[in-house]
Amino acid sequence: MLAVALSLAAAAAFAASALYIDSVTGRVGPVQVSRWQMGLAFLMTGAIALVTGGWQSIDLEMALWLTGSSVAGIMFASLTFVATIQMTGPRISALLFTTAAPFALVLGYVFRGETVNGAQGAGVVLIVCGIVLAVLGPKGDEGPRPPKPLWLGIMLGLMTALGQATGSLFARPAMLAGADPVAAIAVRTGVATLFFLALLAIPALRTPSPDRQSIKRIGGASVCGMVIGMSLLMAALARGDVGIVTTMSSTTPILILPMVWALHRRLPHPAAWVGAALAVAGTALISLAT
């Protein structure tokens, strides 16, 4: 029961993080958001790992695996993650990110020889149906969006999910070897921070720093997603079955709907609720049938 509660709390934290990122849409670009978000996340998780002694659990081999995980899951995926939220809104983007489960399934099959059963295949179909229903249904319940093509946001969302799944694949050996979860997050965000700082060498990316209000909101996204959300998820994994924890923590597309309702004072269309439920059910089939 505690693992379920922790997993649901993690999903809610991830939903809040997406809403924080969406709140700076039109004022701060994806590169700036990623640079500040990763930098703040590294400072927070690095300090926690220093106090708890988590850094001592990381050896060179683990650091290399986590660096590869950072390249795929953060350097690449964080940019597309932010751009997806800013183009499609937090509701549809949360649904798109559930495709990380099917991508992980495919990667496990291709690179690790893991089997795929009928229930998992049905889960993939449910996720796709849920996304299609939500995308084709009425929109506008999250306020105005920038004039960007929806198909581009969808492609970026799928790229984000693929990057996250690949990042998890690279991180798995380090975690199985006993890497401290918070220290692992610090390594991943630290490497990504160096990358985004290096991008300042490109003149076109030397944009002015965000205003103080935007920095606070980006910081809120870092605290909710990278610190609170990931810590709750790791605590849930330490106390419960992986399949159940993965399923419960994937309820972000559902939990984000009442948040959108409360924030924008607009009730999401029934298609949004059905699509979110289908995506979560699909993730449950993939996770519990593993």
pLDDT tens digits for 135-153? Answer: 776 665 555 555 567 788 8
Region 185-201: mean pLDDT is 90
Q: How many domains does the chain have?
A: 1
Supply the pLDDT for residue 237. 66
17-36: pLDDT as tens digits: 988 988 887 788 888 888 89
- pTM confidence score: 0.80
pLDDT at 140: 57
Asked if pLDDT for residue 207 goes beyond 80, the answer is: no
Give the model's pLDDT for residue 25: 78
Give residue 71's domain range.
2-288
Secondary structure string (H, E, C) spanning the chain? CHHHHHHHHHHHHHHHHHHHHHCCCCCCCHHHHHHHHHHHHHHHHHHHHHHHCHHHHCCHHHHHHHHHHHHHHHHHHHHHHHHHHHHHCHHHHHHHHHHHHHHHHHHHHHHHCCCCCHHHHHHHHHHHHHHHHHHHCCCCCCCCCCCCCHHHHHHHHHHHHHHHHHHHHHHHHHHHCCCCHHHHHHHHHHHHHHHHHHHHHCHHHCCCCCCHHHHHHHHHHHHHHHHHHHHHHHHHHHHCCHHHHHHHHCCHHHHHHHHHHHHHCCCCCHHHHHHHHHHHHHHHHHHHCC
Q: Report the share of the chain in percent with pLDDT over 70.
A: 90
Q: How confident is the model at residue 191 (pLDDT cuts 50, 70, 90)?
A: very high
> What pLDDT is attached to residue 144?
56
Tell me: the pLDDT tens digits for 248-258? 777 888 888 88
Over residues 79-90, mean pLDDT: 84
Whether the predicted pLDDT of 187 surpasses 90? yes
Identify the weakest region by mean pLDDT among 70-74, 126-130, 203-207. Answer: 203-207
Q: Of 59-63, 174-178, 251-255, which one has max mean pLDDT?
A: 59-63
pLDDT at 216 over 80: yes
What pLDDT is recorded for position 5?
84
